[in-house]
Amino acid sequence: MKPRGGYNVNLIGGPSGVVEKLSPPEKLCIPLHSRHLKFSELRVADGDSVSSGQTLAVDPEAFSVPLLAPCGGTAGLSRLDGHIVIENLNCPPDPAPDPELPTHVPYDSGQAAEKRRKLLELGAWQFVSNARTHQVADPDGTPSAVIVSTVHLEPFVARGSAICTGSINELVRGLEHLQSLLEYQAIHLVLPNVKLELAQDIQKTIRGHAWLKLSEVPLQMRYPFDNQTLLARHLGLFTEGDETVWFIPAAGVIAFDRALTLNRPCTSRIISLAGPVVKDPLHLEVPVGYPIDKIIAGRLTQDDNVRVVNGGILTGTQITEDQAGIDTECSGLTVLETPTVREMFGWLRLGCDRRSFSKCFTSTLKKAFGENLSTSLRGERRPCVACGQCVTVCPAGIMPNAIHKYLFSDELEQAQRLRTDLCAECGLCSYICPSKIDLYDELVRAKVRIAEELGPPAEEPEEQAAQENQEEDVA
C-alpha cells in the first residue's frame, strides 16, 4: 500500500533546536499511567526510601515494563492521587562523557536474550512498539523487520533532529545494539531526507552494513507519514497480514545505548515546550515526573486562559488537574490560548489569518504563512455535511465520514466492514472537518469496541482493502 492524502499543518510556535537541561525540582510527581501504559502493580510502599533507577511499579499488561525512579528520595503514595511523589531528592549528575568510549559496539557484546532482559529492566524497552498496534512489543518476540524513525511531523512535539544533535555516536551504538538482538531482519532508518547532514554522519560512521537501510519519508514529508503503521505499509513490511514489525523512535535507540553501553537507567526525556503562547519554544531535557507547573512557569506570554496539551495538537490530550508531572511517554507540552470573549459576527469575516483545507477563505490568495492557533473552534458543531474532506485527507485510505454515520446508528458490523482497524490515529480527519466532529476520538474508541465485541475483521489483505476504498471514493 502506498500512502495517500496527508496534510501539513503550518502553525506558529514550533520548538527551536535548542535543548535545555532543567535543574532538579524540589519533588517529582510521577504519573502511574500514560497513553499506552498503566503501572498498576506497585513495588514500593508509602514512606520508602528509594534509589535512582529503582523500580517503583510495573505494567503487568505490557510485559512488566517498569516505572523507574529518576532520583533517589522518599516515596509518597498518598500525596497525590494517581502519582508516586518523590521528595527529599538526591539526583546525582550523570558522569562526564568518557572520551575513551568506543564508537562501535564489540561484536561479542553479549547474548541477545540477556540484552533484552537488561533493556526491559533499565527502562529502554518501553520505546519498542508493535507498528501495527502501537502497543509495547513483546521482548521475547521476533520481528520481521524494524523501523527506526528520526522524523516527527506533528506540530509542536519534540523533533528527532534535536534529540540526535550531538548524539551520533550514541545513535550508532544503539543501532548496533539493536542489530545484535536480531537474526537476519533489516533495520529501516527513516529520515526526512537521506542527503541531510544527519544521514551523512550516520553513513560515515556505519559503513558496509547491509542490515541498515536508509529511507525517506514519502510524499514530500506530509503529515502523518512519520506514523509507524503508515511507514510499515509504505515500506512493504505488511504483506501477509500477521507480520510483527518493531518501531523505535530515535530517542529509543539512544536509550538502548544508555542501557547497554553505559548500564544506566533511562529515566529522563527530551520533550518540547511549544505553542503560540510560549515565549521561546524549545526542547527540554527533564526527568520523568518533573512538575508541569514548574516547567511552564515564567515561559508563557500570559499566565491565565491557557490550555496545556500532552503531546501535539493533533493527537495530544488536554492536561488536567489529574496529571501533575511529565509522564513516561510524554513527547512535548503544547500551550494554546483559550479565548474568553465570544467572536461576534465571526462568520462574516474573510479568514485572512486562517488556513483552510477547503480553500474557502481569503488566506488562500496569500503566500504560505503560519497560523496562530487557539482552542477556539471559530464556529459551532453541526452534523456531517458529507463533504468528503476527511476521505481526501485520510492517509489510511478509509472513509471516516461513512464510519461516523454507521457508528452513530450503532451498526458496528458495517463500521468494521469499512476497515476501521486501518485507522492510523493521526487526527487529521478531526482537524479539517468543517462540521467540527471529533472523528479521531470516535475512530479510536470504535477500534477498541469493535475488537472487543466483534473480534478481528474477515481475512482481507490491507492492500486490497485500501484499493477498494479508493475505488469507492473515486466512484
Q: pLDDT tens for residues 350-397?
A: 778 778 888 888 888 888 888 888 888 877 788 999 999 999 999 999
> Does the pLDDT of residue 263 top 70, yes or no?
yes
Alpha-carbon gap, residue 152 to 334, rounded angstroms:
15
Average pLDDT over residues 43-71: 97
* Predicted local confidence at residue 219, as pLDDT: 60
Q: Which domains, and CATH codes, for the chain?
A: 112-260 (3.40.50), 380-474 (no CATH)
CB-based contacts of 225, cutoff 8 Å, min separation 6 = 3, 6, 153, 217, 218, 219, 231, 234, 395
> Does the pLDDT of residue 257 top 50, yes or no?
yes
Residue 374 and residue 339 in contact, taking contact as beta carbons nearer than 8 Å:
yes
Q: pLDDT tens for residues 122-172?
A: 999 999 999 998 999 999 999 999 999 998 999 999 988 889 888 888 998
- 463 — pLDDT class (breaks 50, 70, 90): very low
Query: Strand runs (DSSP E) across 250-349, as ranges?
Result: 268-274, 282-287, 306-310, 317-318, 332-337
The pTM for the full model equals 0.91
Lowest average pLDDT, out of 41-50, 108-117, 299-308, 322-331, goes to 108-117
* Predicted local confidence at residue 200, as pLDDT: 75
> Does the pLDDT of residue 1 top 80, yes or no?
no
Q: pLDDT tens for residues 405-420?
A: 999 999 999 999 999 9
Alpha-carbon gap, residue 309 to 155, rounded angstroms:
12
* Predicted local confidence at residue 308, as pLDDT: 97
* Predicted local confidence at residue 370, as pLDDT: 86
On average, the pLDDT of the chain sits at 88
Higher-confidence residue of 191 and 195: namely: 191
Above pLDDT 90, what percent of the chain? 63
* Predicted local confidence at residue 211, as pLDDT: 81
- For the chain, how many residues are written? 475
For 364, which DSSP code? G
Average pLDDT over residues 106-126: 88
Q: In angstroms, what CA-CA distances link 107 with 173, 176, 179, 180?
A: 11, 9, 11, 8
Q: pLDDT tens for residues 223-239?
A: 999 999 999 988 889 87
* Predicted local confidence at residue 14, as pLDDT: 94
> Does the pLDDT of residue 466 top 50, yes or no?
no
DSSP H or E segment with residue 255: helix 250-260
* Predicted local confidence at residue 465, as pLDDT: 46
> Does the pLDDT of residue 240 top 50, yes or no?
yes
